[in-house]
Structure 1
Amino acid sequence: MKAGFDPQKYIEEQTKYILERVNNFDKLYLEFGGKLIGDKHAKRVLPGFDEDAKIKILQKLKDQAEIIICVYAGDIERNKVRGDYGITYDMEVLRLLDDFRSYDLKVNSVVITRYNKQPATNVFINKLERRNIKVYKHMTIPGYPADVDTIVSENGYGINPYIPTTKPIVVVTAPGPNSGKLATCLNQLYHEYKLGRVAGYAKFETFPVWNLPLKHPVNIAYEAATIDLKDVNMIDNFHFEKYNEVAVNYNRDLEMFPVVKRIIERITGKSVYHSPTDMGVNRVACGIIDDEVVCEASKQEIIRRYFATACDFKKGLLDEDALNRMKVIMEELKLRQEDRRCVMPARDYAAKLKETCNDNETVSVMAFEMHDGKIITGRSSSTMDCSAAAILNAIKYLAGISDEIYLLSPLILNTIRDLKEKDLNSKISRLNVNEILIALSICAVTNPTAQLAYEKLSLLKGVQGHCTTILNKNDEQILRKLGIDITCDPFYPSENLYYV
């Protein structure tokens, strides 16, 4: 895809803008929204965007910055899962700790927010503390966020411990939204002023982009991405009233701003910000070099989000309001499911196969749109699932290998199937993507043709894929790790509830 974004210009502008904020305070608490590492959404809607841009900005500032990670105790207790990685929030905290260390960034501590002695949370705290990671517990403050008198007092922020920090920039991040980042920043602000220090608060934002139009596809794609949070983009009326300038923000920030403004004024004794947009540090728009490319990429992302929402609704993870909201977004931009090029080839092939199958038999088909526009398909069979078949067909195509040539020895495939059926007592003998890739890597050692195909796996990054049935979590994660953007129709591959 043609680049529509200049990542280097963005990194330079964003770093400069952060440093300008820091100069106004002895210490700046910088709330980071979204992902610090691997921001795939930004990369998809802004072709050319560096998915690790945030962490690279932090690396440039590493001598001046340290990190606090927040996690809400309730998310630990109910085993909330990140959809992109398929891991729980407590595991995501551990992953973040490892990643930050690998980038040589200083992690100050982990903060458990809205802590109420939850059993699973206590186990997690023990796990961290026994690995010499500092943990702080912040309690729920009665009347939060409306009762400002109580919040900014010894009975409010005063009951929560102060987290000692040594750097001028303190980055506050979390495994997901609603983890208590803002409350942690304001809690620190309260204690800093009690200690006689001048501290400030700012928010590192990527989306929505405040200086793009309200209905720009990039901003609408943000709404689609946060459909479960019910985020809605709105004109920042506070910003317009103060500066006579149109700026875009979202409903939660606008609703909370009057309270946050009063809390900051009560702590600092002065009015620092006049609008939620003032709080943000966002230079994304300056990096857009081709608006047409960015708009088209954002529309494709909205279609992908539609399929994800429809599947999550089918799984019972989202309510009907979320699905209806996604339908409205699609209609607003006059988008159709078929505008995603890999959708109809998958459906057409599945319909053709269905004609020769039993009525009760479900046919799963995967279709890939390759970088040159070629459509490659794969179907489920007794040997392997459709994802595995499509992967093998795609790398054959990339390597220029004929369809008739086997990449994998039937002896190896049968041995793996026997292992699953007879020794591991699996009710599913069909091989999945992970098993096929392991078999391919083994065959590549002695088979030059398999080796040639194996070397093409890296070229699948950025390929678009669609499946006519809902994928299991393992296949979905493997495809994501390969860099394939995958969507599914909201139908289960069988009537089974567990063995799918």
Structure 2
Amino acid sequence: MRQGFDNGRYIELQAEHIRQRIGQFGGKLYLEFGGKLFDDNHASRVLPGFEPDSKFRMLKSIADEVEVIIAINANHIEKNKARGDLGITYDEDVLRLVDLFSSNGFAVAAVVITQYAGQPAADVFRHRLEELGITAKLHYPIEGYPHDVDLIVSPEGYGKNEFVETTRPLVVVTAPGPGSGKLATCLSQLYHEHLRGVEAGYAKFETFPVWNLPLSHPVNIAYEAATADLDDANIIDPFHLEAYGKTAVNYNRDVEAFPVVRALMKKILGESPYQSPTDMGVNMVGFAITDDEACSDASRMEIVRRYFAGREQVRRTGMGDEQVDRLKRIMTKAGVDSDYSPARAAACAREQETGAPAGAMVMPDGSVVTGKTSDRLGCASSLLMNALKAVSGVDLEVEVISDDAIEPISRLKTHFLGSSNPRLHTDETLMALSITSAESEVAARVLSGLEQLRGCDAFFSVIISPTDEEVMRRLGINVCCEPKYERHTLYHR
């Protein structure tokens, strides 16, 4: 795939910039880490060449200097708030994060339970953490937060919060999701550090919007599409413009919150080290873009993807019309429409030709391959096989998977597992292909093409099954679906 981002340069630049920021504050920095740390697939889609775990790799390059605090809101524990992408609750995700950090050589200082007001579920979770040998600290609600600065920065405000002892120069504060209290945790720690005579500072790490790209750049517009459900927007940072006479892009919520954050930091430190919300950031991603047009094209495609995902959500749940309307406006701003990907026209044409669901995929060389529903394979499986044949140089008409591999799987599904559909899903197709590859050089060759499909765009004329969508996601294939079902029924599984 055409690359537009230098991942190695990014990791090097980002690590060096964070070290410089640590030095700015005398040797200790609390870094609020926004966005996804391990699996930033949005960034990898809009910045071709960015690896989903780049931020984690960057931290790993300076792991000896890093300690981690994980914040979780007690109200989220009480309400069993879950991550939609992983399907697990925030408290379970905290344990997942502790495992990931610990297994990669990072020191986890503590889990901070924020907004604690005696919630029973939070008490249970805190006890569970302590039983697992994980330090748990409590931070409390503060009346008048965030505007009553004198109360917040006092023994009755941050002073009531339990302090997390840390010894390393960089303290990364992360969380399972938004609203967990990362900023408040950072500022509370700053308050306690300065009471103890320790020089420390605060900075924020958010990848998007990219502050040194234009407001109208497709990469930044794609971020608006990604956050369409929040009804927020990228804007020019007015504080940065006033202070330096330079244009920088920031998020409206960060701009709105900056006066309060600046006042809190001034109260804690004696003066604010920052003149704008852009100043607070340490993001260097814009300096590692090597092909602006490649990133722009990828971002336009991401905007269209978000639009179809929104329409699919409306079809599945009956909710989200306002989000779709906003995504339409964002597409107009980016100068694209729903036919931006050639895969859509190809998939719909193949469906019209065959009278059954079909799919199409844009190959790494720009060509388009299609797949149709057959007696043996669903349209997603058929497309996957044809795409694998295309990238491995095998004729599309060659039958690669033997009937001996397919028939037992179909019979198991229909005779023993209660399915009325004998066609193989993508996971079952890959299993059958793997079995066949043990005795077939052609099948082994086709199977070896999987990595080449990473980053390709696929479009289906119907909403495909959750199983097929998940397999495509794991393979790194980007999926869009026409917002309609194959069958005209009320219940779809």
Instruction: Tell me if the contact between 1:364 and 1:493 (Cα under 8 Å) persists in the aligned partners.
Output: yes
TM superposition shift of 1:135: 2.6
The SS at the match of 2:459 is strand
Quote the Cα distance in structure 1 between the aligned partners of 2:378 and 2:141.
48
Quote the Cα distance in structure 2 between the aligned partners of 1:492 and 1:74.
37
Q: Which residue of 2 aligns with 1:4?
A: 4
Quote the Cα distance in structure 1 between the aligned partners of 2:80 and 2:347.
34
TM superposition shift of 1:466: 1.0
Q: Which runs of 5+ in 1 are unaligned?
A: 355-362
Q: Deviations over 1:466-493 (max 9, x none)?
A: 1122233332221111111111222233
Q: Deviations over 1:307-335 (max 9, x none)?
A: 12222233338633221111111111221
Q: Which residue of 1 aligns with 2:45?
A: 44
Instruction: Tell me if the contact between 1:309 and 1:318 (Cα under 8 Å) persists in the aligned partners.
Output: no
Quote the Cα distance in structure 2 between the aligned partners of 1:157 and 1:273.
21
The SS at the match of 1:206 is coil
TM superposition shift of 1:281: 0.7
Q: Which residue of 2 aligns with 1:327?
A: 328
The SS at the match of 1:274 is coil
TM superposition shift of 1:151: 2.1
Query: After TM superposition, what 4+ stretches of structure 1 lie above 6 angstroms from structure 2?
Result: none
Q: Which residue of 1 aligns with 2:401?
A: 408
Kindly report which structure 2 residues correspond to 1:117-266, keeping only aligned pairs within 5 A, or say none: 117-118=118-119, 121=122, 124-266=125-267
The SS at the match of 1:465 is strand
Q: Deviations over 1:115-147 (max 9, x none)?
A: 445555555545544332223333333322222
Quote the Cα distance in structure 2 between the aligned partners of 1:266 and 1:492.
57
Quote the Cα distance in structure 2 between the aligned partners of 1:104 and 1:49.
23
> Structure 1's 497 and 265: CA in aligned 2 closer, same or farther, altered over 3 A?
farther
Which residue, out of 445, 455, 458, partners 1:462?
455
1:369 aligns with 2:370: no
Q: Deviations over 1:441-465 (max 9, x none)?
A: 2222233332222222222112211
Please tell me the residue identity of whatever aligns with 1:487: C
* Range moving further from structure 2, 300-309 or 444-453: 444-453
TM superposition shift of 1:370: 1.0
Instruction: Tell me if the contact between 2:220 and 2:234 (Cα under 8 Å) persists in the aligned partners.
Output: yes
Quote the Cα distance in structure 1 between the aligned partners of 2:352 and 2:88.
35
The SS at the match of 1:281 is coil
* Range moving further from structure 2, 193-202 or 412-421: 412-421
Quote the Cα distance in structure 2 between the aligned partners of 1:124 and 1:353.
55
TM superposition shift of 1:189: 1.3
Please tell me the residue identity of whatever aligns with 1:466: F
TM-score, with structure 1 as normaliser: 0.91
TM superposition shift of 1:91: 4.0
Q: Which residue of 2 aligns with 1:439?
A: 432
The SS at the match of 1:446 is coil
Quote the Cα distance in structure 1 between the aligned partners of 2:220 and 2:445.
42
Quote the Cα distance in structure 1 between the aligned partners of 2:254 and 2:246.
18
The SS at the match of 2:155 is coil
Q: Deviations over 1:25-78 (max 9, x none)?
A: 342100112222232222222223343321222122211111112233444455
Q: Which residue of 2 aligns with 1:359?
A: none
* Range moving further from structure 2, 98-107 or 212-221: 98-107
The SS at the match of 1:337 is coil
Quote the Cα distance in structure 1 between the aligned partners of 2:155 and 2:375.
66
Instruction: Tell me if the contact between 1:25 and 1:199 (Cα under 8 Å) persists in the aligned partners.
Output: yes
* Range moving further from structure 2, 366-375 or 131-140: 131-140
Q: Which residue of 1 aligns with 2:21?
A: 21
Q: Which residue of 2 aligns with 1:399?
A: 392
Instruction: Tell me if the contact between 1:86 and 1:477 (Cα under 8 Å) persists in the aligned partners.
Output: no
Q: Which residue of 2 aligns with 1:358?
A: none
Instruction: Tell me if the contact between 2:354 and 2:372 (Cα under 8 Å) persists in the aligned partners.
Output: no
TM-score, with structure 2 as normaliser: 0.92
The SS at the match of 2:32 is strand
> Structure 1's 261 and 291: CA in aligned 2 closer, same or farther, altered over 3 A?
same
* Range moving further from structure 2, 490-499 or 257-266: 490-499
Cα RMSD after superposing both structures: 2.4
Quote the Cα distance in structure 1 between the aligned partners of 2:156 and 2:414.
61
> Structure 1's 333 and 399: CA in aligned 2 closer, same or farther, altered over 3 A?
closer
Quote the Cα distance in structure 2 between the aligned partners of 1:420 and 1:119.
44
The SS at the match of 1:378 is strand
Quote the Cα distance in structure 1 between the aligned partners of 2:177 and 2:58.
20
Instruction: Tell me if the contact between 1:26 and 1:197 (Cα under 8 Å) persists in the aligned partners.
Output: no
The SS at the match of 1:69 is strand
Instruction: Tell me if the contact between 1:427 and 1:499 (Cα under 8 Å) persists in the aligned partners.
Output: no
* Range moving further from structure 2, 71-80 or 222-231: 71-80
> Structure 1's 376 and 30: CA in aligned 2 closer, same or farther, altered over 3 A?
same
Which residue, out of 485, 494, 497, partners 2:487?
494
* Range moving further from structure 2, 17-26 or 43-52: 43-52
Quote the Cα distance in structure 2 between the aligned partners of 1:125 and 1:489.
45
